Every structure is written in structure tokens, then in C-alpha cells.
């Protein structure tokens, strides 16, 4: 076994149980919850978060973080939207997302790794810069009524399963292999444990951190491709709560906010639980305005519980996130 | 006489306004155990971190087998055959023993250009090393964070041995060890030297040092103040060199 990566501390079982309880409660409370239409909506709404959460899992496990993922997805979505509007080939349009995302990941890495600015601050600064970039690029208007070219491809089914589901499964499998079967995984977890010790052990710390920010950016960009395919518009407020949702889902899934441990299965279950709660509460009449309260509350609650249980303690001095 | 494996020439290190080392000249020979002694803060760890590529010197030169080298990272020093057991061990507590022993230089096979870990082979090699060290570790898959101080020490030593290094540097390797484990480490340093390896040992324990070291070097306030062959000195003299009571040290410190 390797501590973590796929599973950790039975957290996954608790999450699975929580999902089941939530499904039962909402099925009783709302006649619409347990319909196939709603299940499809719920899964479709989980697509971006599954991908962004995968990147966030890597970042947190490495002792990093990115609070600009929402706006990065927005920028990539504009690229995808413009490509779609210009009738470029589907392959080019689809790839525009991950390519733009990877490019922005490179920028993030340059700021955080080369500039040696703590990730939480560096990505917060970038968030500000990108927010204006989105405004300027969109000219204050939505991209809307985009063609269905991408939608048709990603929603197409193969053996009864949507192509989108295959792509997401492939992304998780690739990351799992990288973490569990290649030196990269050991290096990432060693950096998450202690960057200085990793350096003393001869790990190419700068290269691993760059690669991880780029991969996370590419996954966020892929999420943008799915976003545009799903909704066929890009609005000014795109991705506002994405970073919060992703960090909450990943921490809920058992990945350590301090780095060094992660669970991919936990991330999947964390995303599903979050989306089930959001969807269910909406159906029983709680306005969507309350969703960030729920997400933020869950994030803080889980961390407070772990601290109280003695499983987590934050250093009292210095920057935690690197 | 052959050239030393490693020669340090005029090594100095400053941390901002603090001068941790200045003008250190030292030869390190193959087949020899060299002890570095000195008070807390004398600069021993700083010196070996420069040899290990963990710090860059502020001035001075390092020569490996006569050729000047400059280490940008611990990986560079490792490729020159220098393995270091740091005082703070530098193990990753969240990884297993085998993962730690091979960290940064994993065994892998390339499939479609992707480097896959050879976990089985690494595990076998680590089991052999642990047996050679006579270290009793019940579960080699356990995270290193769950091991005792002595067991961690053994893992760090395995890591150094696994490099097949030409120079093994140990910064207070026995500080956390019980009597029996200390004996094992000391006899290991001798065996390494007999195999032709150069060994640098930092220790505050004078009797341990006299048991294994061929040569002793004393640091004081960032300077090398004395160098003695074991045959030409005794524990009392070494202690007085460390504390500064020795006339040589007094003379040296008066001139500065
Ligand atoms: N990274 C650093 N930054 C600033 N000062 C440092 C750093 N590392 C060491 N020093 C300073 O350099 C001096 C020498 O420290 P060093 O750790 O080399 O001593 P030492 O001889 O190994 O002592 P000990 O026997 O306690 O291990 C000390 O004054 C220490 O505070
Ligand atoms: Mg020291």
C-alpha cells in the first residue's frame, strides 16, 4: 500500500455513506430529486468540478493551492467559445481549453515557483488580473447562443456511456498512474511533506512544481471545454465559486490541506456529495444564493473537526501554502 | 601520496550579516574516517551542507579528485559520489522506507516513454540493505513518520549506502541511537572506510570519535582551528581545542 493516493483513513466510506443518506433524504423531500432527468443534470453539473478538483488534489497534495481556477476556466472558456463561434474544427476547439489552461498554469508557476510568492497570495493576485482580462475580452457582454458542434461530440455515447465520462475517467486514470506508478508521485508527495527535505533528497523541486501547476491548468482548461459544450455560453460571472467548491470537495475527500497526502476516490466522492447537497437543497426550495454558505461551511467545518480531533494542526508562524 | 578524494580550499559561508564559515581548507581522503568536531554553532553542519550541494559557498573552491566542481543542488553532489546523512535526516515522513531510500533516484523502466517505478526491485534492495545493517524494522511499508528515531537513522544510512558513494558524510548519526545501535553505526563507518570509501563523521561524543576516526578536525566559530591524527593526540587535547582552552587556539584567536 502507499499511504493515500487512492484511499485514506476510511474517509471514502464516510463520504459514500453521506452521499447515500443525502440521496435518501432528498428523494423523500422532493418528488423531482430521484428522477432520471435530475440525475443527468446532477452529473452534468459535476463535470467541471471533477476535472478542476483533480488538479486541485495534486496542488494541495504538493502543499500548493490555486484560488484562481474559476477565472482560469473563464479565460479558457472564452477561447473555446471564440473558436466555436469561428467554426474551427471540433478538435481544435476542444483542445483550445486545455492549451489555454496549460499556458495560464505556466504563468501561475512562474509567479509562484520562480517568483517564490506563496501560492495562496500569488494566485489571489492573478485572480485580480484575470478578472479584468475577462471583462475586457468579453467587452461587458456574454458569449451566448454558441453553436452545438462541441455539445454533439461530448454528449455522444459510446457503449451507452457519454464520451465526456470516458474522458474524465481517462484523466483520473492517468493521474492515478502518475501518482502511484511513477517517480512523479513520490516527488509530489515528498514536496507536500517538506519542500526543503525534498530538495535535500535530490528531487527536482522546481520542475515538479511547474509540471503540477501546468497539469492543473490544463485540467481546468479541459473543464472549460466541457463548460462551453454544456451551456453554450460564457457569462461574466463564470467560475465565481469554482475555487471554493474545488477546495471544499478535495478537502472533504481527505486530501490534506497541508500537503503530503491525497485521495483521488475521495475527491470524486467529495464532488458528488457537494453537488448532491447543492442540487437537493435547491429542489426543496432553498435559494441558490445559499449554496456558497453551504460549501464554505462544509470546508471550515471539516477542517475544524480535524483540528479538534488532533489529526491536523496548522503551523502558527510563517506561510503555510507555498 | 595520491590526491585527496575531495579538497576544500578557502571555503567561506555568510548568511546575511552572519559569517558561519571562513577560510576552511580541508582534504578528505579515500579509505579514511575523518571526524569533524566543534561546539554547537561552530559551523560543522554548514560546512558539510556545502559539500553536499545543499548550500552554495560564499567563496572558496571544492575539488573532487583534483577537478574543480560546483554543486547547484544535492543531486549534483550525489552524482559526484557524495552521499550525506543530514543532521535533520531529510526523510519524507509520509513515504515508506523503500520510497525514502530511493527518493530522487528511483529504479524505473520506460514503457512508451513513461518512467514506471520498479517497486518490487527497490523493495528487494532495501530489504537486503536493512539486513546488512541488522536493523529491525517490522513493516518496511510503513510510513517513515511512524518509525522510532533510531529506525529513521537506519533508513537514512540505507539511503546513503544505496548510493554506492565514494564519500559518505554523517552529521551526528548516533545522536538518537541506543548503545547497541551506536556500536553498529560505528562499525559500519569503519567498514565503509575499509572498502575504500571516504567517511566524514560529525559527533559530539569524543570516545566514539576516538574509536573510529583516523583524523580529527576541530571547528571553532566558523574556522578550522586544528587538525590531528588520532595517533598524535588524546581526548583531553581535543576537548581543550573544542573549548578554546588550548594554547594553539588562544594564539590563533589573539591574532584575529
Ligand atoms: N540557513 C541558515 N540561515 C542562517 N544562519 C544559519 C543557517 N544555518 C546555520 N546558520 C548559522 O550558522 C552557524 C553555524 O551553524 P551550524 O549548524 O553549521 O553549526 P554546527 O556546528 O553544526 O552546530 P551543532 O553542533 O549544534 O549542530 C550558527 O550560528 C547558525 O545559527
Ligand atoms: Mg550541526
Tens digit of pLDDT for each residue in B165-181? 899 999 998 887 888 88
Tens of pLDDT along B97-138? 999 999 999 999 999 999 999 999 999 999 998 888 777 787
**CA atoms of A146 and B48, how far apart (whole Å):** 63
**What is the band of B92 on the pLDDT scale with cuts at 50, 70, 90?**
very high
Residue B186 inside a domain? The answer is yes
For an interface test with A, give the residue of B90, B113, B147 to mutate (most A CBs within 10 A): B90
* Structural domains of chain B, count: 1
Domains of chain A (ranges, CATH numbers): 11-19+32-306 (1.10.3470)
pLDDT for residue B157: 86
Angle at the Cα of A205 from the Cα atoms of A200 and A208, rounded to 5 degrees? 145
Average the pLDDT over each of A151-155, A221-225, B109-113, B154-158 and give the range with the smallest value: A151-155
Which ligand is in closest contact with the Cα of B39?
1
Tens of pLDDT along A215-240? 999 999 999 999 999 999 999 889 99
Residue B21 inside a domain? The answer is yes
Chain A to chain B, count of Cβ pairs less than 8 Å apart?
A: 77
Q: A197 contacts in B (CB within 8 Å)? A: 88, 90-92
E strand or H helix at A75, and its extent? helix A69-85
**By the 8 A CB rule, do B36 and B47 touch?**
yes
> Which of B42, B85, B221 gets mutated to test ligand 1 (max ligand atoms within 8 A of its CB)?
B42
**Residue minimizing CA distance to atom 29 of ligand 1:** B41
Which ligand is in closest contact with the Cα of B20?
1
E strand or H helix at A37, and its extent? helix A36-61
CA-based nearest residue in chain A for residue B53: A200
Start-end of H helices in A140-204: 149-155, 163-181, 183-193, 195-200
Residue B27 inside a domain? The answer is yes
pLDDT for residue A158: 82
Q: Which residues span the domain enclosing B175?
A: 6-254
Burial of residue A226, with CB atoms counted within 10 A of its CB: 0-12 exposed, 13-18 middle, 19 or more buried: buried
Residue B209 inside a domain? The answer is yes
Instruction: Pick B104's closest partner by Cβ from A1, A201, A260.
Output: A201
**Residue minimizing CA distance to atom 24 of ligand 1:** B40
Mean pLDDT of chain B: 91
For residue A203, how far is its CA from the centre of ligand 1 (angstroms)?
23
Residue B1 inside a domain? The answer is no
Whether B108 sits inside 8 A of A194 (CB atoms) is: no
Residue B34 inside a domain? The answer is yes
What pTM was computed for the model? 0.89
Residue B156 inside a domain? The answer is yes
B14 strand-pairing partners: B19
**CA atoms of B37 and A165, how far apart (whole Å):** 63
Mean pLDDT of chain A: 92
For an interface test with A, give the residue of B52, B53, B92 to mutate (most A CBs within 10 A): B92
For residue A199, how far is its CA from the centre of ligand 1 (angstroms)?
18
Q: Is B54 on the interface with A (CB under 8 A)?
A: yes
For residue B67, how far is its CA from the centre of ligand 2 (angstroms)?
28
Q: Look at the block and give the residue holding cell 472549460.
A: A224
Residues with CB under 6 A from ligand 1: B 15, 18, 20, 38, 40-46, 87
Using DSSP's 3-state secondary structure scheme, residue B83 falls into strand
Residue A252 has pLDDT above 90, yes or no: yes
Residue B181 inside a domain? The answer is yes
**CA atoms of A191 and A185, how far apart (whole Å):** 10
Phi and psi at residue B15, to the nearest 5°: -105, 95
Domain containing B221 — which CATH number? Answer: 3.40.50.300
For residue B236, how far is its CA from the centre of ligand 1 (angstroms)?
25
Amino acid at each position: 500500500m502507499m499511504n493515500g493516493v487512492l484511499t485514506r483513513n476510511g474517509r471514502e466510506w464516510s463520504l459514500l455513506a453521506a452521499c447515500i443518506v443525502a440521496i435518501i433524504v432528498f428523494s423523500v423531500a422532493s418528488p423531482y430529486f430521484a428522477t432520471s432527468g435530475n440525475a443527468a443534470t446532477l452529473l452534468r453539473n459535476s463535470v467541471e468540478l471533477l476535472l478542476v478538483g483533480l488538479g486541485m488534489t495534486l496542488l494541495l497534495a504538493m502543499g500548493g493551492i490555486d484560488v484562481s481556477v474559476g477565472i482560469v476556466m473563464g479565460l479558457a472558456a472564452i477561447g473555446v467559445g471564440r473558436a466555436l463561434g469561428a467554426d474551427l474544427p471540433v478538435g481544435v476547439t476542444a483542445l483550445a481549453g486545455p492549451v489555454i489552461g496549460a499556458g495560464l498554469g505556466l504563468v501561475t508557476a512562474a509567479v509562484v515557483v520562480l517568483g517564490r510568492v506563496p501560492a495562496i497570495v500569488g494566485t489571489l493576485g492573478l485572480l485580480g488580473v484575470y478578472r479584468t482580462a475577462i471583462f475586457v475580452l468579453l467587452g461587458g457582454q456574454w458569449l451566448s447562443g454558441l453553436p452545438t458542434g462541441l455539445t454533439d461530440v461530448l454528449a455522444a455515447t459510446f457503449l451507452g456511456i457519454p464520451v465526456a465520462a470516458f474522458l474524465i475517467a481517462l484523466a483520473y486514470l492517468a493521474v492515478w498512474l502518475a501518482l502511484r506508478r511513477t517517480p512523479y508521485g513520490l516527488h509530489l508527495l515528498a514536496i507536500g511533506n517538506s519542500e526543503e527535505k525534498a530538495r535535500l533528497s535530490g528531487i527536482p523541486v522546481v520542475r515538479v512544481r511547474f509540471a503540477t501547476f501546468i497539469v492543473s491548468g490544463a485540467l481546468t482548461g479541459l473543464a472549460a471545454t466541457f463548460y462551453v459544450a454544456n451551456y453554450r455560453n460564457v457569462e461574466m460571472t463564470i467560475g465565481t465559486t469554482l475555487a471554493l467548491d474545488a477546495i471544499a470537495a478535495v478537502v472533504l475527500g481527505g486530501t490534506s490541506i497541508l500537503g503530503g497526502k491525497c485521495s483521488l476516490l475521495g475527491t470524486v466522492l467529495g464532488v458528488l456529495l457537494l453537488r448532491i447537497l447543492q442540487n437537493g437543497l435547491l429542489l426543496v426550495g432553498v435559494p441558490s444564493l445559499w449554496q456558497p454558505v453551504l460549501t464554505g461551511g462544509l470546508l471550515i467545518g471539516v477542517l475544524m473537526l480535524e483540528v479538534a480531533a488532533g489529526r491536523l494542526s496548522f503551523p502558527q508562524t510563517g506561510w503555510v501554502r507555498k | 601520496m595520491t590526491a585527496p578524494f575531495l579538497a576544500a580550499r578557502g571555503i567561506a559561508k555568510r548568511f546575511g550579516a552572519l559569517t558561519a564559515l571562513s577560510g576552511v581548507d580541508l582534504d578528505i581522503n579515500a579509505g579514511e574516517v575523518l571526524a569533524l568536531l566543534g561546539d554547537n554553532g561552530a559551523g560543522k553542519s554548514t560546512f558539510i551542507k556545502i559539500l553536499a550541494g545543499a548550500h552554495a559557498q560564499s567563496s572558496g573552491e571544492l575539488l573532487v579528485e583534483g577537478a574543480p566542481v560546483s554543486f547547484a543542488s544535492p543531486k549534483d553532489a550525489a552524482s559526484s559520489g557524495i552521499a550525506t546523512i543530514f543532521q535533520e535526516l531529510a526523510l519524507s515522513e509520509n513515504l515508506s522506507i523503500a520510497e525514502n531510500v530511493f527518493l530522487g533516484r528511483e529504479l524505473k523502466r520506460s514503457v512508451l516513454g513513461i518512467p514506471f517505478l520498479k517497486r518490487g526491485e527497490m523493495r528487494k534492495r532495501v530489504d537486503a540493505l536493512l539486513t546488512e545493517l541488522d536493523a529491525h524494522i517490522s513493516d518496511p511499508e510503513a510510513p517513515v513518520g511512524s518509525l522510532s528515531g533510531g529506525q529513521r537513522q537506519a533508513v537514512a544510512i540505507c539511503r546513503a549506502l544505496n548510493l554506492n558513494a565514494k564519500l559518505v558524510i554523517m552529521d551526528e548519526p548516533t545522536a538518537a541511537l541506543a548503545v547497541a545501535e551506536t556500536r553498529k553505526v560505528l562499525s559500519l563507518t569503519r567498514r565503509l572506510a575499509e572498502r575504500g570509501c571516504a567517511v566524514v563523521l560529525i559527533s559530539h561524543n569524543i570516545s566514539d570519535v576516538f574509536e573510529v576516526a583516523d583524523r580529527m578536525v576541530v571547528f571553532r566559530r566558523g574556522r578550522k582551528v586544528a587538525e590531528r591524527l588520532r595517533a598524535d593526540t588524546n581526548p583531553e587535547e581535543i576537548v581543550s581545542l573544542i573549548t578554546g582552552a588550548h594554547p594553539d587556539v588562544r594564539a590563533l584567536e589573539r591574532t584575529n
